[in-house]
């Protein structure tokens, strides 16, 4: 059994218990302990229910037990309708019974401060000791709509009518928002199979639930509401597995505005907002980022058709010119392509529609189709299913009054079922007057009907992108993720350090075969002249000090130094200026470097995110990163595809490809550096807090790091202080 399978089995009692005990069950109809019993009964839970309460004999006809100890069989799941102070005792009783899973609603733990956090830690330890998996505390609970397990007190989750298609799981870090999403989804025709509110994630966290769903054959789509992932690397692994299974993960990640700016020494550190990292992470892993709950609903409906669009070429068929244009705008704004129809296709459509209608894209059948001639809706469809240029057909209106008895609707469905074109009906949202009567039959036959309030076009664009990712991963090149080179020991270079000097940082890069400028540190002017001569003129001179990262500011850098005399003068001046700039700076000497010819300056950087670990940044240097923020991120380790995408994603890619008549630069060399940096920081994330290679100069052929700075992890510094001083 693999680790994953083990986890899946461990969570089974949470989702599919054969028996449930309700701790704190009650006869009092206003109490949670009563609502919970009622919810299980109303939900039609088929297993055994054991209400536990020393003061009641029966609750809603169920035999009540004075304590768990009185129940003589081993129970699968315990639902805690107990206040925070009684949770520990309850857990001990569960352990005695042999219960392996629990849902704990009570608040009053880590969310209230230090005291609560301590108590939570205690309970968590206890749970681990006894092998009990816990959802909560401080949560709304868990619902499995396929077996009637309604482990929640929330009336919102029990009063909504569901339909029979239940294969979309939903896990949420917000109880209230989760309940709202659950109800909205149900009202709009999407019924979840699982609803899990993870609360404080004491023991079972967001990605554990995702893991269950990835391995659960009954779940076809995994959706969720996320404020912050506790274990992004696990989520990454799961996303990969899910994508391989064509099981989309559609996650709404909030807290974009909380990104803020962090105090950081490097460019990379100051530019990496948490939301940008999430964006990169989702892209990289194929997780679909839902902008809002509507995306979860609409995306799931699209996926449930069983078809994936083959491309982005979209035709809109409408009976309202205005609606058509509006939908076309929306398509293009989300990256779908409203392509011009070929002459042949246009002629073929025109043959059977009135002269005042339009066979351009959008195809406008005019009000005639809406009011008197609904059969017109079939005309463009008959033609478009054979058009090789068309991937998607959107009906932004559809005959309202056709019922399933109407022969034309049968023909419509028949055509749709026998084509690989993706066909979608979007409708305007008006209360009680906008949904076609035949919607149930259309949906049952794989033709989604989605109202405008769910933003179907946005979801469609995300679905198309998902499809592209799914196809891509089949041939995905994972080379970069395997270590390309043996792990090198950088400890001697970073020990007892906080920030490395340029020369020191360059040595670290060189260990991982990243090309750096030739450089030698001189401690006297004569030595400087010797180095310059051995290197060949012209050269650059820079102060080599970990305490002076901003050398220009300190006037401690001279470029294009051309002869011995200039070297001697420059050496003295740099030494003088550096000491004047910071009298206490540790100065290793003056670094003599080869002068690099001009090329395109890029920047490669790393920031070590508390959640994600090392995150790699790429951009064009100078103004482009500072003013235009034209940068891309990926979480380490990088695959070769990740590295390529990072490069292609920035606007400045056009410059790298050779804008304004210039030659293209060596993109492969950039990929190589990105992968080597990825290997370096994956091996040494515990040592490296920030890294900037800036500028990294790319040529038509080749690449060189002209400058570098590296900030050592504080933990490392503290540790080494502990050891060394």
The bridge status of strand 58-59 relative to strand 48-52 is unpaired
**Which position among 193, 200, 320, 607 is part of the footprint of a copy of itself (CB under 8 A)?**
320
Distance separating alpha carbons of residues 384 and 374, to the nearest angstrom? 18
Q: By CB under 8 A, is residue 332 in contact with a copy of itself?
A: yes
**Least distance from C-beta 423 to a copy of itself, angstroms?**
21
Q: Report the residue number, 535 or 665, with the smaller CB distance to a copy of itself.
A: 665
CA 577, CA 583: separation in Å to the nearest integer? 10
Tell me: does residue 263 bind a copy of itself (CB under 8 A).
no
x-marked contacts with a copy of itself along 620-649 as a string, rule CB under 8 A:
--xx--xxx-x-------------------
Contact 542, 551 (CB under 8 A): yes
Least distance (Å) between residue 239 CB and a copy of itself: 22
Q: Which two tokens stand for residue 653?
A: 């890619």
**CA-wise closest residue to 246 among 463, 515, 523:** 463
Beta carbon nearer to a copy of itself, 380 or 589: 380
Q: How far is the CB of 410 from a copy of itself (least distance, A)?
A: 27
Binding mask 368-407 for a copy of itself (x = CB under 8 A): --x-------------------------------------
User: Between 229 and 248, how does the x/- string for binding to a copy of itself read (CB under 8 A)?
Assistant: --------------------
Task: Supply the DSSP string of 556-569, one letter for each residue.
Answer: -EEEEE-SHHHHHH
Q: Hey, which residues between 170 and 229 contact a copy of itself (CB under 8 A)? A: 172-178, 180, 183-184, 187, 225, 227
Closest to a copy of itself by CB, 9 or 258: 258
Give the HSE-up count for residue 15: Cα atoms under 13 Å, Cβ half-sphere: 26
Choose which of 19, 207, 326, 678 interacts with a copy of itself (CB under 8 A).
326
HEC-encoded secondary structure of 612-671: CEEEEEEEECCHHHHCCCCEEEEECCCCHHHHHHHHHHCCCHHHHCCCCCCCCCCHHHHH
User: At its nearest, how many Å lie between a copy of itself and the CB of residue 361?
Assistant: 10
Q: Which is nearer to a copy of itself, 176 or 444 (CB)?
A: 176
Cβ proximity to a copy of itself: between 335 and 536 the closer is 335
Q: What's the angle, vertex CA 540, arms to CA 538 and CA 541, rounded to 5?
A: 135
Measure the CA–CA gap between 707 and 703, rounded to whole angstroms. 12
Q: Indicate the residue among 212 and 293 with the shorter CB distance to a copy of itself.
A: 293
The DSSP string of 241-277 is: HHHHTT--EEEEE--SGGG-----SSHHHHH--HHHH
Q: Does 453 bind a copy of itself (CB under 8 A)?
A: yes
Which of these, 31, 643, 168, lies nearest to 632 by C-alpha position?
643
CB of 213 to a copy of itself, least distance (A): 20
Based on the shown chain and the rule CB under 8 A, indicate whether residue 92 belongs to the binding site for a copy of itself.
no
Residue whose tokens read 């939900």: 43
x/- track of binding to a copy of itself for residues 98-117 (CB under 8 A)? ---------xx--xxx----
Task: Select the residue interacting with a copy of itself from 72, 431, 598, 725 (CB under 8 A).
Answer: 431
Closest approach of a copy of itself to the CB of residue 191, in Å = 15
CA angle 355, 357, 358 (to 5 degrees): 110
Of 92 and 430, nearer to a copy of itself (C-beta) is 430
Q: Which is nearer to a copy of itself, 118 or 256 (CB)?
A: 256
Buried b (16+ CB within 10 A) or exposed e, 570-591: bbeebbebbbebeeebebbbbb
State the CB neighbour count (10 A cutoff) for residue 121.
13
Within 13 Å and on the Cβ side, how many CA atoms surround 417? 12
Give residues with Cβ within 8 angstroms of 353, minimum separation 6: 359, 365, 376, 379, 380
Residue 68 sits in the site that holds a copy of itself (CB under 8 A): no
| Between 67 and 429, CB nearer to a copy of itself | 429
| Interface region with a copy of itself, contact rule CB under 8 A, candidates 216-224, 417-425, 655-663, 710-718 | 655-663
Q: Are 586 and 608 in contact (CB under 8 A)?
A: no
Q: Taking contact as CB under 8 A, which single stretch among the options 305-313, 341-349, 430-438, 473-481 is the one that binds a copy of itself?
A: 430-438
Residues that bind a copy of itself (CB under 8 A): 107-108, 111-113, 172-178, 180, 183-184, 187, 225, 227, 254-258, 292, 319-323, 325-326, 328-329, 331-333, 338, 355-356, 367, 370, 428-431, 433, 453, 622-623, 626-628, 630, 651-652, 654-655, 659-660
């Amino acid at each position: 059994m693999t680790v994953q399978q083990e986890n899946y089995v461990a969570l089974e009692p949470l989702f599919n218990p054969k028996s449930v005990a309700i701790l704190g069950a009650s006869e009092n109809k206003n109490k949670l302990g009563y609502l919970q019993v009622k919810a299980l009964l109303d939900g039609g839970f088929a297993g055994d229910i054991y209400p536990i309460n020393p003061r009641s004999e029966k609750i809603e006809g169920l035999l009540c037990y004075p304590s768990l100890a009185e129940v003589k069989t081993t129970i699968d799941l315990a639902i805690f309708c107990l206040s925070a102070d009684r949770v520990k005792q309850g857990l001990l009783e569960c352990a005695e019974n042999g219960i392996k899973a629990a849902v704990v609603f009570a608040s009053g733990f880590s969310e209230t401060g230090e005291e609560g956090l301590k108590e939570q830690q205690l309970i968590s330890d206890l749970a681990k000791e006894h092998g009990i998996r816990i959802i909560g505390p401080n949560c709304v609970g868990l619902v499995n709509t396929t077996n009637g397990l309604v482990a929640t007190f929330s009336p919102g989750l029990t009063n909504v009518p569901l339909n029979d298609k239940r294969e979309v799981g939903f896990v949420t870090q917000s109880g209230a928002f989760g309940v709202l999403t659950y109800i909205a989804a149900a009202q709009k025709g999407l019924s979840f199979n699982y609803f899990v509110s993870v609360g404080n994630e004491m023991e079972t966290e967001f990605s554990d639930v995702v893991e269950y769903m990835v391995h659960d054959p009954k779940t076809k789509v995994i959706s969720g509401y996320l404020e912050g992932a506790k274990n992004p690397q696990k989520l990454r692994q799961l996303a990969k597995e899910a994508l391989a299974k064509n099981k989309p993960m559609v996650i709404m990640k909030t807290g974009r505005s909380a990104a803020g700016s962090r105090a950081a020494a490097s460019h990379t550190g100051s530019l990496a907002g948490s939301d940008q990292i999430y964006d990169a992470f989702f892209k990289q892993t194929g997780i679909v980022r839902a902008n809002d709950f509507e995306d979860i609903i609409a995306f799931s409906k699209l996926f449930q058709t069983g078809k994936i669009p083959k491309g982005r070429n979209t035709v809109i068929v409408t009976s309202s010119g205005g609606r058509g244009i509006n939908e076309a705008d929306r398509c293009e704004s989300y990256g779908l392509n409203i392509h011009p129809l070929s002459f042949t296709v246009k002629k073929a459509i025109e043959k059977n529609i009135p002269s005042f209608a339009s066979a351009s894209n959008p195809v406008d059948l005019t009000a005639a189709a809406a009011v008197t001639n609904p059969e017109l809706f079939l005309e463009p469809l008959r033609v478009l299913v054979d058009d090789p240029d068309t991937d998607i057909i959107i009906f932004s209106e559809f005959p309202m009054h056709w019922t399933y008895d109407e022969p034309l609707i049968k023909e419509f469905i028949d055509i749709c079922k026998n084509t690989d074109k993706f066909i979608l009906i979007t409708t305007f949202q008006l209360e009680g007057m906008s949904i076609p009567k035949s919607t149930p039959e259309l949906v049952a036959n794989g033709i989604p009907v989605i109202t405008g309030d769910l933003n179907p076009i946005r979801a469609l664009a995300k679905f198309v992108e998902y499809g592209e990712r799914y196809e891509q991963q089949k041939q995905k090149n994972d080379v970069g993720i395997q270590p390309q080179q043996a792990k090198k020991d950088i400890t001697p270079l970073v020990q007892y350090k906080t920030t490395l000097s340029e020369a020191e940082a360059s040595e670290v890069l060189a260990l991982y075969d990243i090309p750096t400028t030739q450089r030698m540190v001189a401690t006297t002017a004569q030595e400087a002249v010797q180095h310059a001569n051995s290197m060949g003129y012209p050269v650059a001179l820079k102060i080599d000090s970990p305490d002076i990262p901003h050398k220009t500011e300190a006037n401690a850098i001279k470029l294009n130094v051309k002869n011995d005399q200039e070297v001697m003068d420059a050496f003295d001046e740099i030494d003088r200026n550096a000491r004047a700039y910071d009298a206490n700076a540790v100065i290793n000497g003056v670094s003599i470097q080869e002068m690099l010819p001009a090329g395109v300056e890029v920047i490669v950087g790393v920031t070590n995110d508390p959640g994600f670990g090392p995150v790699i940044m790429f951009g064009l240097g100078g103004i482009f990163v500072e003013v235009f923020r034209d940068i891309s991120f990926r979480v380490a380790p990088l695959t070769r595809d990740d590295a390529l995408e990072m490069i292609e994603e920035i606007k400045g890619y056009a410059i790298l490809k050779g804008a304004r008549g210039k030659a293209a630069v060596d993109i492969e060399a950039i990929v190589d550096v990105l992968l080597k940096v990825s290997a370096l920081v994956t091996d040494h994330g515990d040592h490296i807090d920030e890294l900037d290679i800036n500028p990294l100069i790319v040529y038509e052929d080749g690449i060189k790091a002209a400058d570098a700075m590296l900030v050592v992890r504080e933990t490392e510094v503290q540790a080494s202080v502990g050891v060394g001083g």
